[in-house]
């Protein structure tokens, strides 16, 4: 077992990137700001005030709305880690004070149950999300502590975690319907060093699929808490019943797969159910494996990752095709127009893969993070920073549009905390070596194996594969450069001297996959060891336009190709093309070109290919005729990055185009 990497956190990394910085700034200036206003408008803070004041009733909003406050605290904390902002710090402290005041003496805090059904706490683990909210409280606390070294929020979180640890495994055995507490407890363990949190996380992971508490609840809805929610003036009782309705198989048996509770985690080999829940669970599983080296958990992890990435994932990195249960279905069932592919699920996949990357050091996980960041995740956010997709289809007839984030509950704040912490996904350290996982313009100031390192990265991605690193260090630091699986060729030049491709130079080594049967892309890292004194590393990754096919069992993509210029997946939008999109067929080996257009969509590289289109000759007053009498002519089909779709005139969009196989 290799020793896990540690990601280098947001405090040590300052992102300064032509592509990503505008997103991060919009996130700070628009999203986090607006999110704070919404905490007041939605009644979230008022719920805490009422709980503080010992009131009864008057709960407002969704039953898991406390988590909105916690997610905001987490995102805001990442911003505080990067630079002090007195106004933001004051707001953060006010909210923390409020949560502290609302928390019960025993550590319990959940404004819904405190205000509405205090006697029913911990009776509806499946639907009522007390542990889910608590998990977000803990994540916020860890982020806040790491940013400020203040314990104000951390103390609240440990109080809650201690209470959970007291209650569960003792007076009550059960797992939450929505995972989140598990990964949070492990984060809490990492900052506090308290083993009980790690062990409680392990308890929740190990019990899942073994304990029939969720099934009991689902079949005894009358006996559990949550029903009073439907009677609140602001309540939406139907939502709860809809969820409850999803919990059953056709024969009225409880179906635990919605919450990954159909069988023990160690026995699972296909990703199932609600995809955000699955990702949060698996992130915790990866953390546990890193802590415990549990081989059975790791074996299951590898099977689940293989299942997801080779049978249940969109080409954008999006996951979970189905609307009804927001989750996974059958292998290779990846419909395009009806894809769910929730933005939060893409974010959850990034969380999971970052942990797998840290554990294994294998580039394939960083590859998938990059793919998901630039496509399945980024499409979830509009160019104005004010409009969001919950649902990310890969084809649209023109009626799917982003909505103002204030109408959504989970995706906008989840995106906000990812943007705010993007710096934490770029670099990691293991065994005194530095790993460059993502090529995003940034400055890094940290210590690797006891050696101070200052690194400045410039990157022209995703438009151009030119990356430059300038490094100063107190001593010798091996630097591992990820060569993405998509690179059609890579050159590494150290201080003006070409030292690769691959293993050509003595001081460049390509690390090999070390962790079992999974092959994904087959790329790795190039290792450069130097005593750095301001030298530069230039990396040239060749980008080409690719036509990609999907596995033969994917019905939705049969006879179709997707256009990519990695790391970006492209799509065709009606606004750029004269004919209806269904008329274009891209020939195999089509001549393709790419050109940057500063004026378009905040600046994008567009792609164009030749395409066959039907000839209208002979079709007048005919609806059907022998195919040999029909003809085609040649036209051009223009593509824009998938993430940028639906930012102009409404119209059809498609990622998968008919292939004209010669």
Selecting among 326, 358, 509, 573, the annotated active-site residue is: 326
| Count of CB atoms situated within 10 Å of the CB of 546 | 16
Shortest gap between Cβ of 547 and a second copy (angstroms)?
A: 5
Shortest gap between Cβ of 421 and a second copy (angstroms)?
A: 28
Strand pairing class (466-482; 433-436):
parallel
Selecting among 133, 344, 408, 410, the annotated active-site residue is: 410
Instruction: Give the residue with the Cβ less far from a second copy, 166 or 610.
Output: 610
Q: How far apart are CA 164 and CA 136, in angstroms?
A: 14
Q: How far apart are CA 411 and CA 237, in angstroms?
A: 22
Q: Cα torsion for 221, 222, 225, 230, to the nearest 10°?
A: 90
Is 628 in the active site? no
Shortest gap between Cβ of 520 and a second copy (angstroms)?
A: 8
Q: Which residues pair with 61 in a beta bridge?
A: none
Is 410 in the active site? yes
Shortest gap between Cβ of 571 and a second copy (angstroms)?
A: 15
Instruction: Give the residue with the Cβ less far from a second copy, 256 or 521.
Output: 521
Q: Give me the residues that bind a second copy (CB under 8 A), please.
A: 306, 309-311, 313, 315, 518-520, 546-555, 558-559, 561-562, 580, 582-583, 585, 588-589, 612-614, 616, 619, 621-628, 630, 632, 658-662
Instruction: Give the residue with the Cβ less far from a second copy, 526 or 659.
Output: 659
Q: Hey, CA dihedral for 190, 196, 200, 203, is it positive or negative? A: positive
| Count of CB atoms situated within 10 Å of the CB of 619 | 13
Instruction: Give the residue with the Cβ less far from a second copy, 178 or 311.
Output: 311
Shortest gap between Cβ of 347 and a second copy (angstroms)?
A: 20
Shortest gap between Cβ of 125 and a second copy (angstroms)?
A: 35
User: Quick check: helix, strand or coil at residue 657?
Assistant: strand
Q: How far apart are CA 483 and CA 498, in angstroms?
A: 15
Instruction: Give the residue with the Cβ less far from a second copy, 14 or 583.
Output: 583
| 375 and 486 Cβ atoms separated by less than 8 Å | no
Q: How far apart are CA 44 and CA 39, in angstroms?
A: 5
Instruction: Give the residue with the Cβ less far from a second copy, 397 or 443.
Output: 397
| Count of CB atoms situated within 10 Å of the CB of 505 | 16
CA distances from 196 to 37, 166, 205 (A): 37, 10, 14
Shortest gap between Cβ of 313 and a second copy (angstroms)?
A: 6
User: Quick check: helix, strand or coil at residue 435?
Assistant: strand
Instruction: Give the residue with the Cβ less far from a second copy, 203 or 520.
Output: 520
User: Quick check: helix, strand or coil at residue 305?
Assistant: helix
DSSP string, 10-68: GGGEEE--TTHHHHHHHIIIIIIHHHHHHHHHTTHHHHHHHHHTT--S---S-TTTHHH
Closest C-alpha among 197, 187, 141 to residue 166? 197
Instruction: Give the residue with the Cβ less far from a second copy, 261 or 356.
Output: 356
- Cβ burial, residue 291 (10 Å; 0-12/13-18/19+): middle
Q: Cis omega (within 30 of 0) on the bond before 462? A: yes
Shortest gap between Cβ of 623 and a second copy (angstroms)?
A: 5
Return phi, psi of residue 355, to 5°: -70, -40
Instruction: Give the residue with the Cβ less far from a second copy, 233 or 662.
Output: 662
Q: For residue 399, give every residue at least 6 positions away whose Cβ sits within 8 Å of its Cβ, in sequence order, or none.
A: 650
What's CA 81's distance to the chain center, in Å? 21
User: What angle, 0 to 180 degrees and rounded to 10, lies between the N-to-C axes of helices 295-311 and 275-292?
Assistant: 140
| 508 and 499 Cβ atoms separated by less than 8 Å | yes
Q: Hey, CA dihedral for 171, 132, 312, 6, is it positive or negative? A: negative
Shortest gap between Cβ of 583 and a second copy (angstroms)?
A: 6
Shortest gap between Cβ of 257 and a second copy (angstroms)?
A: 21
CA distances from 659 to 377, 564, 654, 656 (A): 27, 14, 13, 9
Instruction: Give the residue with the Cβ less far from a second copy, 415 or 547.
Output: 547
| 557 and 334 Cβ atoms separated by less than 8 Å | yes
Shortest gap between Cβ of 180 and a second copy (angstroms)?
A: 28
- Cβ burial, residue 175 (10 Å; 0-12/13-18/19+): buried
Instruction: Give the residue with the Cβ less far from a second copy, 242 or 616.
Output: 616
- Cβ burial, residue 605 (10 Å; 0-12/13-18/19+): buried
Q: Which residues pair with 478 in a beta bridge?
A: 529
The catalytic site residues sit at 326, 410
């Amino acid at each position: 077992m290799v020793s896990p990497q540690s990601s280098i956190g947001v405090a040590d990394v300052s992102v300064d990137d032509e592509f990503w910085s505008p997103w991060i700034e919009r996130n700070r200036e628009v999203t986090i700001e607006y999110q704070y206003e919404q905490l007041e408008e939605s009644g979230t803070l008022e719920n805490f005030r009422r709980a503080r004041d010992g009131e009864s009733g008057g709960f407002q909003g969704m039953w898991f709305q406390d988590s909105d406050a916690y997610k905001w605290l987490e995102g805001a904390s990442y911003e505080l880690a990067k630079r002090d902002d007195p106004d933001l710090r004051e707001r953060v402290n006010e909210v923390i004070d409020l949560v502290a005041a609302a928390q019960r003496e025993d550590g319990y805090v959940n404004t819904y149950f405190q205000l509405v059904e205090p006697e029913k706490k911990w009776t509806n683990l499946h639907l009522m999300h007390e542990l889910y909210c608590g998990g977000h409280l803990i994540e916020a606390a860890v982020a806040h502590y790491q940013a400020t070294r203040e314990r104000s929020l951390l103390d609240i979180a440990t109080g809650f975690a201690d209470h959970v640890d007291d209650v569960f495994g003792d007076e009550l055995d059960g797992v939450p319907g929505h995972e989140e507490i598990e990964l949070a407890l492990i984060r809490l363990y990492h900052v506090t060093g308290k083993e009980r949190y790690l062990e409680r996380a392990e308890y929740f992971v190990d019990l899942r699929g073994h304990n029939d508490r969720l099934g009991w609840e689902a079949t005894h809805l009358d006996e559990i808490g949550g029903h009073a929610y439907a009677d609140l003036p602001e309540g939406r009782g139907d939502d709860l019943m809809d969820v409850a309705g999803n919990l059953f198989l056709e024969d009225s048996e409880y179906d635990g797969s919605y919450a990954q509770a159909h069988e023990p985690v160690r026995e699972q080999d296909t990703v199932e159910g609600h995809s955000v829940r699955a990702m949060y669970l698996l992130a915790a599983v990866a953390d546990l494996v890193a802590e415990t080296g549990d081989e059975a958990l790791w074996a299951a992890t590898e099977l689940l990752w293989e299942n997801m990435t080779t049978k249940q994932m969109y080409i954008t990195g999006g996951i979970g095709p189905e609307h009804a249960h927001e989750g996974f279905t059958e292998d290779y069932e990846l419909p395009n127009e009806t894809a769910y592919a929730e933005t939060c699920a893409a974010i959850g996949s990034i969380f999971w893969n970052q942990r797998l990357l840290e554990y294994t050091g294998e580039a394939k996980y960083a590859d998938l993070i990059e793919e998901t960041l630039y496509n399945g995740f980024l499409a979830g956010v509009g160019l104005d920073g004010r409009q969001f997709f919950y649902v990310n289809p890969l084809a649209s007839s023109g009626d799917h549009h982003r909505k103002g984030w204030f109408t959504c509950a989970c995706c906008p704040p989840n995106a906000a905390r990812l943007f705010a912490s993007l710096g934490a996904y770029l670099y990691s350290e293991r065994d005194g070596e530095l790993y460059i996982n993502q090529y995003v313009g940034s400055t890094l100031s940290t210590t690797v194996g006891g050696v101070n390192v200052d690194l400045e990265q410039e990157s022209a991605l995703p438009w151009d594969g030119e990356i430059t690193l300038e490094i100063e260090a107190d001593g010798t630091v091996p630097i591992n450069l990820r060569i993405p699986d998509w690179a059609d060729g890579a050159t590494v030049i150290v201080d003006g001297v070409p030292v690769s491709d691959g293993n050509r130079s003595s001081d460049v080594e390509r690390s090999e996959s070390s962790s079992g049967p999974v092959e994904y892309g087959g790329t790795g890292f190039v290792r450069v060891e130097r005593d750095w004194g301001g030298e530069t590393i230039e990396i040239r990754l060749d980008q080409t336009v690719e036509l990609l096919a999907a596995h033969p069992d994917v019905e939705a993509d049969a006879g179709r190709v997707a256009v990519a210029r990695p790391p970006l997946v492209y799509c065709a939008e009606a606004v750029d093309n004269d004919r209806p999109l269904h008329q274009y067929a891209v020939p195999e080996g089509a001549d393709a070109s790419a050109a940057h257009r500063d004026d378009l969509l905040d600046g994008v590289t567009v792609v164009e290919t030749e395409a066959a289109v039907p000839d209208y000759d002979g079709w007048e007053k005919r609806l059907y005729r022998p195919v040999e009498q029909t003809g085609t002519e040649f036209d051009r089909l223009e593509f824009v990055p998938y993430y940028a779709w639906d930012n102009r005139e409404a119209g059809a969009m498609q990622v998968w185009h008919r292939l004209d196989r010669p």
